[in-house]
Amino acid sequence: MKLSDITNVISFAAFRPDPDDSSCVWSKRFPNKKTLLLNFSKDSVSWRSVTKEGALGDENSIAGPLKEVVQDMSEEWMGLTDGGWCAVSINHRFVISLETNLTRKNGASELIRTNPKSVLGSKSERGKRYALKHNDESNSSILLAVDEDYIKEIETLFKGSGLKVGRICCGIYGMLAESLDQISEAQKDYDESDQGPLGDVISITCCEGSVCILKSDQEKWIELRSRNSLYTREDMEPLRKIMAPILEDLGSNAQIVLSADRTAEGINQMLSDLAPNVRINDISDSCDLWNLLKNK
């Protein structure tokens, strides 16, 4: 045994997660090192650095196609990291759908990443990578599908620029999953308070021009609508049009749970106009994309 091996064991360095270990919290994979968080949409890229102390730096963004932005910004991004490590969120070329009766055998959520056909059966498509979130109270599930070519394109671009991708995720899916976890906990508290049946809950998640709307009846997920690159800060009308039908005729005890990034500024007022008698719970701060990327 080498002296360095003994030193690693004594200092517990041997038990730290490897930088490539995506199952571990991002901030714990790079103790006392600078890293970079990036978010890609169809026509722009935004980013924030993470300091050695784990604090988030200022947010920056630039418009342009992915390939050109990575090539132009790689040198500056390298300077914001120790070793070039990046976590990437994508908000383009994905599909989020509501499925029923998918297998719930142990490890299905992990197995779908390596052998999706064993989980999805005939619904599995070649050239896709998947993630899965089950509803614990019903037979419905939320399924994320992302073009594998797009993921490989990102990995190749970063590698060619000297950067290392430690994680690729779908930002809006992560925000939706966090929102649903919070809703589930709130529903448990509500049930224990014995206030009677809870009405419809509409979860609205917005990230970099994309949107996902999920309608729940009690604890059942019953309707989902998701669109990529639907709106811009300058043109929010497409967002209004997709939300309006699902917000019609809601009962007096219905609620809207909103999780949105800065691109959906003004959406609170829009929701108030569309559903004036419905309570709006804005949990955007707790589902903030940058904090989720750093702390998940």
> Could you report the per-residue pLDDT of 32-63, keeping only the tens digit for each?
999 999 999 988 999 999 999 999 999 999 99
Q: Helix, strand, or coil here: 282?
A: strand
Do 197 and 282 fall within a single domain? Answer: yes
Contact criterion met (CB below 8 Å) for 88 and 161: no
> What pLDDT shows up at residue 20?
62
> What pLDDT shows up at residue 106?
80
Sign of CA dihedral 218, 220, 225, 229: positive
Do 189 and 272 fall within a single domain? Answer: yes
How many distinct structural domains can be found in the chain? 3
| Phi, psi (rounded to 5 degrees) for 40 | -105, 130
> What pLDDT shows up at residue 155?
93
> What pLDDT shows up at residue 4?
45
DSSP state of 250: -
Do 31 and 63 fall within a single domain? Answer: yes
Do 37 and 164 fall within a single domain? Answer: yes
What tokens does 28 get? 């714990």
Q: Residues 56-71: pLDDT tens digits?
A: 999 999 999 889 999 9
Q: Helix, strand, or coil here: 265?
A: coil
Average pLDDT value over all residues in the chain = 88
Residue 11 vs residue 223, higher pLDDT = 223
CA contacts within 13 A on the Cβ side of 197:
10
* Domain-ending residue, one of 169, 201, 224: 169
Q: 217 lies in which domain range?
A: 172-295
Q: Residues 251-264: pLDDT tens digits?
A: 778 999 999 998 88
| Beta-carbon count within 10 A of 245 CB | 12
Q: Averaged over 229-238, what is the pLDDT?
A: 93
Do 113 and 220 fall within a single domain? Answer: no
> What pLDDT shows up at residue 51?
96
> What pLDDT shows up at residue 22?
65
Q: Averaged over 129-145, what is the pLDDT?
A: 93
Q: Please, which pLDDT band fits residue 278 given cuts at 50, 70 and 90?
A: very high
Residue 125 vs residue 20, higher pLDDT = 125
The CATH number for 249's domain is 3.30.420.260
> What pLDDT shows up at residue 226?
96
Please choose, from the candidates 35, 29, 20, 39, the residue with its C-alpha nearest in 3D space to the C-alpha of residue 81: 35
Do 133 and 78 fall within a single domain? Answer: no
Please choose, from the candidates 247, 236, 237, the residue with its C-alpha nearest in 3D space to the C-alpha of residue 272: 247
Residue 232 vs residue 15, higher pLDDT = 232
> What pLDDT shows up at residue 82?
95
Q: Residues 166-208: pLDDT tens digits?
A: 999 999 999 999 999 999 888 877 666 666 667 789 999 999 9
Do 202 and 55 fall within a single domain? Answer: no
| Beta-carbon count within 10 A of 207 CB | 26
Q: How far apart are CA 85 and CA 136, in angstroms?
A: 35
Residue 107 has pLDDT above 90, yes or no: no
| Total residue count of the chain as it appears in this document | 296
Do 127 and 113 fall within a single domain? Answer: yes
Residue 281 has pLDDT above 80, yes or no: yes
The CATH number for 153's domain is 3.30.420.40
